[in-house]
Amino acid sequence: MQRVVVTGTGAVTSYGLGSELLWQELLDGKSIIEPIPDTWKLKPEDKGFYAPLPRLDYKSLDFSKMELTQYEPVNLNLLVALNEALENANLTYNLVNNKLNSYALHNINVDRLGVFAGTGTGGVGSLTKNTLNINHIQRGEQRRLDPFGIAKAMPNNVAASVGIKLGLHKHINSYAYACATGTISMGKAYESIRNGLVDVAVTGSSEYFDEEGVTYTGFLKAKTIITKGNHETVNCPFDENRNGFLFSKGASAVLVLESLEHAQKRNANILAEIVGFEESFDGYNMVSGDPSGLYIEQMIENLLQEAKIEAKDVDYINAHGTGTLKNDEVEAEIFERLFGDKVAINSTKSLLGHTIAASGSIEAIVTMLSMRDKKIHKNNGLINPIKNLNFVRETTDVSIEYALSTSYAFGGHNAALLFKRYKEDTI
């Protein structure tokens, strides 16, 4: 079995471009939240909040005409994050196909490199726009249909766009596990390296909702997103006054994973080591998790057993922490049963909002940067905690040996990753 390490990260979030910018804004406790656009409202008097993600100026980011024509922001943002992750991992490349704008990585056996990436909805914006345009055409109006609309809407296009960019011909893996997509994608990458299938993995997840509030309204009708409160208190996971999650317009994150042997041979900078991945399935309800939390609890217990550590060895948990009534209640009860009141806990969603499929990848990055810098960002909006647990209320200095990142999703998908601080002298 190979040991697996992380050597590069990249992110596009509501804060802007870059995983280090993401990290600094989180440490500063910055929350980006705005009232929903008027075009999203079902009635003029409706109120709501979201975390915006403006479109980037893609023409200035060296994308080809083909990429700008065939890809949605859900792809383009991930490719921006990919560039940063490759640079952080010190993986150099050169342009080999002008039409495809594809790279050839230097000193990497591409047959031993895999892509493990996904999205919750893919290019839902294109599908929505084509649907609206068809309605206009049927009424005799002049509208243009996007010939790439179907391809853009397919969830596999996120992983495919990375494979095209890197000029790969095997090991392209696509995942769609709703809010657990990022964590499961990374877990599958970890397993593939650990079991010797590949030496290097590019893993990540992306989401972008540019469809006139269709997805937002769907969550609104499902009663899962925040609808009341003010900018300071409305987004408050694990607080008694929580009333849903802060909907984010999207985000993208990419990580580079390698076998320890491969990373050492090229003298790569190692951010952290992954020492465990587990997933489970509630088999209970499409939009609500099992209220007993049994299968999440068993998953975490199996994860600790796989890593040959005890619950008391875990110093930090980056929780799923959505702010919905049932999720936070069940998750807090599980943590209380397994870890007691010592382990430090926070929710990155309390500041960034819920980026759906991208959340697990982002939270993995945040977890490892917490280990690197021995700092944990605050859990925003926490005034009256639902449990007497060690929720982090302000940015705090903490030495972290082991850290846990958890994700749960519509449909009942659960996943967790366990990270260990990398020590060169333990090799």
- Count the domains in the chain: 2
CA-to-CA dists, residue 110 to 115, 122, 179, 305, angstroms: 11, 26, 29, 34
In a domain, 272, yes or no: no
Q: In one letter, which amino acid is 91?
A: L
Domain that holds residue 183: 4-265
Return the structure tokens found at 411. Answer: 């449909």
Confidence of residue 332 (pLDDT cuts 50, 70, 90): very high
Domain finish residue from 240, 265, 290: 265
Taking the model in full, what pTM does it have?
0.96
Distance CA 227, CA 235 (A): 10
Q: Classify 242 in phi/psi space as left (phi over 0), alpha (psi -120 to 50) or beta.
A: beta
Confidence of residue 362 (pLDDT cuts 50, 70, 90): very high
| Average confidence (pLDDT) over 78-87 | 98
Same domain, 312 and 392: yes
Same domain, 328 and 183: no
Q: Report the pLDDT value the prediction gives residue 136, as an integer from 0 to 100.
A: 64
Q: Which residues have C-beta within 8 Å of that of residue 158, sequence separation ≥ 6?
A: 74, 75, 78, 117, 118, 119, 122, 174, 205, 206
| Average confidence (pLDDT) over 28-32 | 95
In a domain, 284, yes or no: yes
Helices (H) and strands (E) in the chain, counts: 13, 19
**Cβ atoms within 10 A of the Cβ of 201, count?**
30
In a domain, 270, yes or no: no
In a domain, 115, yes or no: yes
| Average confidence (pLDDT) over 249-269 | 97
Segment among 96-110, 166-180, 325-339 with least mean pLDDT: 96-110
Same domain, 221 and 303: no
**37-51, 136-150, 242-256: which has the highest mean pLDDT?**
242-256
Return the structure tokens found at 36. Answer: 């929903």
Same domain, 111 and 231: yes
Output the CA torsion sign for 296, 297, 299, 303. positive
- Sheet hosting strand 34-35, strand order edge to edge: 34-35, 49-51, 247-248
Q: Report the pLDDT value the prediction gives residue 23, as an integer from 0 to 100.
A: 98
In a domain, 107, yes or no: yes
Q: Report the pLDDT value the prediction gives residue 109, as an integer from 0 to 100.
A: 96
| Average confidence (pLDDT) over 169-178 | 97
Same domain, 254 and 346: no
Higher pLDDT, 87 or 128: 87
Confidence of residue 150 (pLDDT cuts 50, 70, 90): confident
Query: Does residue 427 surpass a pLDDT of 50?
Result: no
- The proportion of the chain whose per-residue pLDDT surpasses 70, expressed as a percent, equals 98
Same domain, 281 and 261: no
Query: Does residue 426 surpass a pLDDT of 80?
Result: no
Q: Report the pLDDT value the prediction gives residue 304, as an integer from 0 to 100.
A: 98
Same domain, 340 and 205: no
Task: Provide the CA 172 distance to its chain's centre, in angstroms.
Answer: 19
Q: In one letter, which amino acid is 356?
A: I
Confidence of residue 425 (pLDDT cuts 50, 70, 90): low
Same domain, 257 and 177: yes
Q: Report the pLDDT value the prediction gives residue 137, as an integer from 0 to 100.
A: 74
In contact, 130 and 146? CB cutoff 8 Å = yes
| Average confidence (pLDDT) over 212-216 | 88
Distance CA 176, CA 382 (A): 31
Distance CA 298, CA 296 (A): 5
Segment among 36-45, 145-154, 235-244 with least mean pLDDT: 145-154
Confidence of residue 8 (pLDDT cuts 50, 70, 90): very high
DSSP run (H or E) holding 344:
strand 344-346
Segment among 26-40, 122-136, 154-168 with least mean pLDDT: 122-136
Average pLDDT taken over every residue of the chain? 94
Confidence of residue 7 (pLDDT cuts 50, 70, 90): very high
Return the structure tokens found at 9. Answer: 């990260």
CATH value at residue 83: 3.40.47.10
In contact, 377 and 366? CB cutoff 8 Å = yes
In a domain, 271, yes or no: no
**134-138, 233-237, 396-400: which has the highest mean pLDDT?**
396-400
Higher pLDDT, 243 or 99: 243
Q: Which residues have C-beta within 8 Å of that of residue 156, sequence separation ≥ 6?
A: 122, 174
| Average confidence (pLDDT) over 327-351 | 98
Same domain, 248 and 289: no
Q: Report the pLDDT value the prediction gives residue 143, as an integer from 0 to 100.
A: 79
In a domain, 202, yes or no: yes
Higher pLDDT, 396 or 124: 396
Same domain, 367 and 234: no
Same domain, 330 and 421: yes
In a domain, 219, yes or no: yes
Domain finish residue from 265, 295, 327: 265
Domain finish residue from 218, 233, 265: 265
Per-residue DSSP letter, 211: S
In contact, 117 and 202? CB cutoff 8 Å = yes
| Average confidence (pLDDT) over 122-139 | 74
Same domain, 235 and 141: yes
